[in-house]
């Protein structure tokens, strides 16, 4: 069955405390090449049957209204992943 992948990230201009904490830890561990870390969410939606335009439109609405908090997050991508044969 095909999957729809929805990716949600913190808004670029907002502080990402979790990301900052990880970035700080990486710096202390000597990974100085990594200058910033941002942590978001990845949704894998399994779809019964074919992914129609209507389903994609519904998922875009769901992504805005349920999967992300529009005040602090952006939906950065929605893509279809066909089932591995």
CA 31/CA 84 separation, integer angstroms: 35
Tell the residue number behind the tokens 């894998």, with chain if given: 44
Count of Cβ atoms closer than 10 Å to residue 40 Cβ: 16
- When the beta carbons of 33 and 71 are compared against its own copies, the nearer one is 33
The count of residues interacting with its own copies (CB under 8 A) is 33
Angstrom distance (rounded) from CA 30 to CA 56? 43
Please report, as residue ranges, which positions from 18 to 77 form the binding site for its own copies (by CB under 8 A). Answer: 19, 22, 25-26, 31-49, 55, 58-59, 62, 66-67
For its own copies, the binding residues (CB under 8 A) are: 1, 7-9, 19, 22, 25-26, 31-49, 55, 58-59, 62, 66-67
């Amino acid at each position: 069955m095909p999957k729809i992948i929805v990716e949600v990230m913190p808004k670029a201009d907002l502080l990402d405390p979790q990301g900052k904490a990880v970035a700080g830890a990486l710096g202390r561990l000597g990974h100085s090449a990594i200058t910033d870390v941002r942590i978001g969410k990845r949704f894998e939606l399994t779809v019964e049957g074919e992914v129609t335009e209507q389903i994609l439109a519904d998922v875009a609405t769901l992504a805005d209204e349920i999967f992300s908090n529009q005040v602090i997050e952006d939906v950065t991508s929605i893509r279809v992943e066909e089932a591995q044969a």
